[in-house]
Structure 1
Amino acid sequence: MSTAAADLERDLLATIPLARAMALRVVAHEGDWLELAAPLAPNINDKGCAFGGSLASLMTLAGWGVLHLAAAAHGLDCDIYVQDSTIRYLAPVWGELRCRAQPAAGESCADMLSALAARGKARLRMECAVALPDGGVAATLSARFVALRNAAAA
């Protein structure tokens, strides 16, 4: 795992109590995608499978993490927010929660970073999916994130 990805994991666990409670970890990061995971035990529901709120949180944090890593790699100090999202729950997760996030088709972190540098704000739609062990998809999140450059960094 890259130093930036390890730093992201440490920061998420240090600053977001929910990430700690979920036992979240960064699994992989390359370019415009990020993969996060969390064990089932702290994320279980009354049926014995993954809690929907944990799936939503994992996907949201993965999408946010992609933008955070891209901005940090380019030295851009900004705040990143989820503006809106749509979640689809397709199948139960009976084991480890694994999520991959990447920009939606036709979008890129590079375009978002250019807009952020030029205008001080930018938006990017992210697609996130929780995988099943057989290669299927348990849940998806389509979200629009907003990045606002911090005034002191402008």
Structure 2
Amino acid sequence: MDLEALKYKLHSQIPLTKFMQIDIEKVENNYLITTAPIEPNINDKQTGFAGSLSTLVTISAWSACYLSVVDLGFNKDCMIAVIKSDTAYRTPVTKELYCKTLLPSKEQLQTLKRKLKDKKSASIRIKSQLLQDGKVCVDFEGVYVIKL
């Protein structure tokens, strides 16, 4: 997984991710870890701006899809888009934005690969959480469609 290439892609093709200073940190225990500093993502209450929080969980889940598609050997210029999502804001974020995105399971990847080979399109469900001090601040689940 080329995380630096992904970060470059995001910052060059989606300018908001550069302004938010989103960083693609690492893959750890089947999670993609992404972060952003609080300062450029703050609201009038000095907590994380809901638009920034939503963007981070959405783009992190998109990134998990992208990394999966590339790792499966498909074209990295394929179309990936969120088509449905559910976001729950549980508690304010007051520190660095820290997001954990669950990468697809082996079973999900096998299904994704089969559908992409057979139909040239597939969808997948991805979950992300923004955490602070071990507590869930934002829960996200999105359905992403992928077309070759």
Q: Normalized against structure 2, the TM-score is what?
A: 0.91
Q: Deviations over 1:58-85 (max 9, x none)?
A: 0001100011011112221221000010
Q: Distance in 2 between matches of 1:104 and 1:142?
A: 13
Q: Structure 1 vs Structure 2: percent identity of aligned residues?
A: 29
Pick one of 18, 21, 29 that aligns with 1:20: 18
Residue aligned with 2:138, SS = strand
Residue aligned with 1:83, SS = strand
Residue aligned with 1:127, SS = strand
Aligned twin of 2:65: 67
Letter in 2 for 1:84: K
Aligned twin of 2:94: 94
Q: How big is the alpha-carbon RMSD for the aligned residues of Structure 1 and Structure 2?
A: 1.9
Q: Distance in 1 between matches of 2:122 and 2:19?
A: 31
Aligned-residue offset at 1:114:
2.1
Gaps of 5+ in 2: none
Aligned twin of 1:142: 141
Structure 1 residues 15 and 109, CA gap change in structure 2 (3 angstroms): same
Aligned-residue offset at 1:118:
1.7
8 Å contact 2:125–2:144 — kept in the other structure?
A: yes
Q: Normalized against structure 1, the TM-score is what?
A: 0.88
